[in-house]
Amino acid sequence: MPANPHLSDHERALYDRQMRLPGVGEAGQIRLRDAKVLILGAGGLGSPAGLYLAAAGISQLGIADPDKVEISNLHRQIIHGFDTLGLPKTVSAAEALSEINPGARIALHPEGLKPENAAELISRYDLVLDCTDNFATRFLAADACVLAGRPLIHGSVLRGEGQVGVFLPGRGCYRCLYPVMPDAASVPTCAEAGVFGATCGIVGSWMAAEAIAVILGQRTDSKMLVIDTQVGTSRVLKLTADPACPACGVAAVIKDLIPARYTATTCATPSMSEHPIEVTVEEARRQLATTTPPLLIDVREADEFALCHIEGARLIPMNSIPTRLAEIPQDVPVLIHCHHGGRSMKVTHFLRSKGYTQVSNVKGGIDAWSLKVDPKVPRY
């Protein structure tokens, strides 16, 4: 069926307040209406995300979830209710979405996302929201989106902590942050650790807002938002594609979705110890001031080090890095810096290619450190 190039009077009245926003208007509203959006997981995050997307006029929605509604879901999974207990979550969610957007076409995928169906399912949609709660599906969704060239909005929560990732094709993916799927036993499950409903509401709503921005063409970079509602903090990490990423890097090894790669089954949220390819000097200062600071390696030459250096930095000039790898442990976070950030970025990429997943470049090097963090460090 060809897309209708116009809005009806009913649609104009319904979305009037939204269409007044910069970047929306009638053209934006039509883009939202016609976008095909897949929601993986109709749970704590899929509930608010789905409701806000349907209410915003997104009218081609898919819901993938293999579970049924249980009573322990209801404190946070607000798309479901006591009247839908025991029903498939896809059916329960579709009822609620149809009420808020009666014109929407809602496809149900009660088989959920699996290695066997992921490529075909995701290729039918323009954008994917990962609202699932286990590593296996999360990494499967991330890899499938990279392979299909689809933007992915990722969300996860545990206790009061939440993450929202925006991963645009070619701009850095989930595996640029988490190259290897963690051992499921290494982190607590939602059932064990507990979760706040309001935190799900914030993360799911934020996911919906990011999805709308991506559909409207208002996003150009991948990023990760990290919030902690128990202490009341948030920060945004801008992502850069990691050349050593196993999914989207120059020598990517993940070319298909073989089931054996996605066998972990335990519900979990990744650890919060993300290691972007590059951090700002302010972020480096924050990390170095913690009780478990990263190893700071200065890759300039000895004469530069003698001129000035950051306290606590270890000198390993760039050219001697390949022969001194034994001095750099693989299992701890490492920050690499030089004068302006060029040499240290090369070293960061080199170390990533050698399996160092926790190494990050310090953007701008010691010069930025002098300008923004510690003016007592002389510039040269």
- State the minimum distance, in angstroms, from the CB of residue 61 to Zn ion: 27
Q: Is there a contact between 234 and 226 (Cβ–Cβ < 8 Å)?
A: yes
Dist. CA 235–CA 355, nearest whole Å? 27
- State the minimum distance, in angstroms, from the CB of residue 34 to Zn ion: 29
Residue 190: active-site member = yes
- State the minimum distance, in angstroms, from the CB of residue 146 to Zn ion: 7
Within 10 angstroms of residue 234's Cβ, the number of other Cβ atoms is 13
CA distances from 251 to 174, 274, 353 (A): 16, 22, 10
Q: Which of 131, 248, 308, 338 is catalytic?
A: 338
DSSP H helical segments within 36-189, as ranges? 46-55, 89-100, 118-123, 135-148, 174-177
- State the minimum distance, in angstroms, from the CB of residue 169 to Zn ion: 10
- State the minimum distance, in angstroms, from the CB of residue 242 to Zn ion: 6
Residue number with CB closer to Zn ion (84 or 361) = 361
| Amino acid at the residue 98 | S
Residue keyed to tokens 């000097």: 281
DSSP secondary structure of 69-93? --GGGTTT-TT--GGGTTSBHHHHH
- State the minimum distance, in angstroms, from the CB of residue 63 to Zn ion: 27
CA distances from 379 to 39, 273, 278, 284 (A): 51, 32, 22, 18
Residue number with CB closer to Zn ion (50 or 270) = 270
Residue number with CB closer to Zn ion (222 or 370) = 222
CB burial of 326-351 (b: ≥16 within 10 Å; e: otherwise) equals eebeeeebbbbbbbebebbbbbbbbb
CA distances from 125 to 50, 54, 101, 120 (A): 15, 15, 19, 10
- State the minimum distance, in angstroms, from the CB of residue 178 to Zn ion: 10
Residue number with CB closer to Zn ion (109 or 175) = 175
DSSP H helical segments within 194-314, as ranges? 197-215, 281-288, 302-307
- Name the residue with the smallest CB distance to Zn ion: 245
Under the rule (CB under 5 A), what is the footprint of Zn ion?
173, 175-176, 245, 247-248
How do strand 295-298 and strand 334-337 relate by DSSP bridges? parallel
Q: Which of 173, 176, 190, 200 is catalytic?
A: 190
Residue number with CB closer to Zn ion (203 or 245) = 245
Task: Please list the residues that pair with 128 across neighbouring strands.
Answer: 38, 152
Residue number with CB closer to Zn ion (63 or 245) = 245
Q: In what order do the strands lie in the sheet with 334-337?
A: 278-279, 359-362, 334-337, 295-298, 314-315
Residue 176: active-site member = no
Residue number with CB closer to Zn ion (192 or 256) = 256
Active site amino acids: 190, 338
